[in-house]
Each structure stands twice: as structure tokens, then as C-alpha cells.
Amino acid sequence: MASPRVDVRKLAETRFRDPAAVASAYAARRRRAIVGPRESLMIIAADHPARGALRAGDRADAMADRSELLARLMVALERPGVDGVLAAPDVLEDLLLLGALEGRVAIGSMNRGGLPRAAFEVDDRFTAYDADSIDRFRLEAGKMLLRIDLDDPATAATLDTCARAVSALAERQLVALVEPFMSRRVDGRLTNDLSPDAVVQSAVVAAGLGTTSAYTWLKLPVVEEMERVAASTTLPILLLGGEVSGDADAAYAQWEKALALPTVRGLVVGRSLLYPPDDDVAAAVDTAVSLLPTGRES
């Protein structure tokens, strides 16, 4: 990993003395369309800290050092073929102040209230961006997490708020990126069911949220029988990277196979690329970009 090139002292000074600089950075950012000429997206995910999820691989606090996280993000964002980043306001705004989001896709993470291991975890409150702020701050999309626990009544509130957010983003012609899971408590911990049947069920529920699906995309895990999962919807699917894998080559092979499916339109990967086992962020990102299809039949 290259030495950090992030002046945290300068960032902190700006935030202390000139908080209006954040709004100015939003307004001045050079934007780009979320769908580029390549038609396959490579997005770096960094919204984990906003839920207190700091682990990457065997490092329990890997994402706790903001200078290191920002340095890794900047390495990733500078690699050819990377389209942009997904993050909560604090990380996106650090990157804005660093000038790292010029000409990049910026996706705002919306509901970060379902903290890991909390009794209220499935009740994913919208504690970060909302549709209005995503529009006002000129972001390209909003992302929401939807854990569906059929045994937890709080799931109903999360379904309702996600549906309202999908509708509100669509009214503004902004993409709603929904990340659904069928989940259940196992020994008191909320666990996502990654069986093909469960992923299909989560996908079709998420696809039906809101008053229109015109601007809805899905963020789905790569699982067995991915062909059946991808065939369950006509909505664009971005694949999530998940936990850091000890066998990176196997993970890349799974991604490459899934990326060839007609509804799959790219990758949204965070820890697997930012904290790879060999700590070479640039090489990990370059490998992921190389997996993206170079063209599709019309």
C-alpha cells in the first residue's frame, strides 16, 4: 500500500473554520452521467463506517483510521476504469474537499441506522442522505439497505421507508440502488441468507418497491445459481463484493461469470478491493476492472 497522501490536518482545519466549503464543493463538482459509454460500472463502496462496521479481513478496526481509508480510496479512484464511489455524507464530503470526485459518479448511502448487533438492526432508519439532499447536492444516485426478517415486525417499517425513498428518487429521475437480503436471527445475530432461493426472493421484493421501478437498480451478492438470480428481474443489477476473501482468485472468477449475465451491469465493491490480502489496492482494483464486459449485444 502506498504511503497516505491525505492531509488530515488540512481537512480538519477546513471543517472547523469553513464548514460552508462542503456545500461549495458539492456545487462545484464536475459531474458525469451514471451510465457511461462502457455500460458497465465499477463503483468503490465505502459506506461501512457509518454503521460502525470497521472490519476488513482479519483487521477488526481496519476502516477506523480515516486517513488510511481516504488514502486507499484515492488510490482506487485514480485507477483507470473506476467510475465512482458509494459512501455516507462524511466520507463523500472528505473526498469532495480533497478534489477526488471530479468527473466521478457519487452515490449517497441513505439508511445507516441498522447498527450491527443492535436489537433494532433490521429497522434500518434513514439517518444519512435522503432523496431531497441527494438531488440538492447533485449526486447521481441513492443507495439503501433492505434486510427482510419475516419474524421481526420492524421489517415492515423498513419496507415502507425504502419504498418511499425509491418513489422520491424516481420523482427526481435519480437512480435508487436497493441492496436487499432475506435475513434472520441466528443466536441473536442478524444473518443474511445467501441461498439462491432467498436472494431471488429478496430481489423480486425489492424490485416491486415504490410507485415506479423506472429508476430502480439492485445491488445483489454473488451466490450459487447466479443465472437464476439474475433472471428473476429485468432491473439493472450491480454485484456486491462482500467480505474480504482469502481466495481472491476464486472471488474474481465468480464475479467474471456473473458479469456476463444480461441484467448484471457492474460491480460495487469495498473492503475486498480497499483492503486486499496482499494490501495492493491498485492491483486489486485493476483486476476487478478487467473483469467488466467490454461490450454487449444490443
With cut-offs at 50, 70 and 90, classify the pLDDT of residue 298: very low
Of residues 62 and 26, more confidently modeled: 26
pLDDT of 56: 87
pLDDT of 57: 83
Averaged pLDDT of the chain: 94
Identity of the amino acid at 148: I
Residue 153 lies in a domain: yes
Which residues on adjacent β-strands are paired with residue 190? 185
* pLDDT greater than 90 at residue 26: yes
Other Cβ atoms less than 10 A from the Cβ of 25: the count is 19
N- to C-terminal Cα distance for the chain? 40
* pLDDT greater than 60 at residue 257: yes
- Residue carrying the nine cell digits 459531474: 31
Other Cβ atoms less than 10 A from the Cβ of 256: the count is 15
Residue 295 lies in a domain: no
pTM of the model: 0.95
Residue 113 lies in a domain: yes
- C-alpha distances out from residue 67 to 11, 14, 23, 232, Å: 10, 15, 22, 41
What total of structural domains would you count in the chain? 1
* pLDDT greater than 80 at residue 3: no
* pLDDT greater than 60 at residue 241: yes
Residue 161 lies in a domain: yes
pLDDT of 4: 52
Mean pLDDT of 131-160: 97
Range of the domain at 281: 8-290
Strands 189-192, 175-186: pairing is antiparallel
Mean pLDDT of 192-196: 97
* 82-92 per-position pLDDT tens digit: 999 999 999 99
Return the CATH number at 81: 3.20.20.70
Other Cβ atoms less than 10 A from the Cβ of 49: the count is 17
Residue 297 lies in a domain: no
pLDDT of 248: 83
* pLDDT greater than 90 at residue 124: yes
Identity of the amino acid at 38: R
Residue 20 lies in a domain: yes
Residue 298 lies in a domain: no
Of residues 138 and 1, more confidently modeled: 138
Residue 95 lies in a domain: yes
With cut-offs at 50, 70 and 90, classify the pLDDT of residue 59: confident
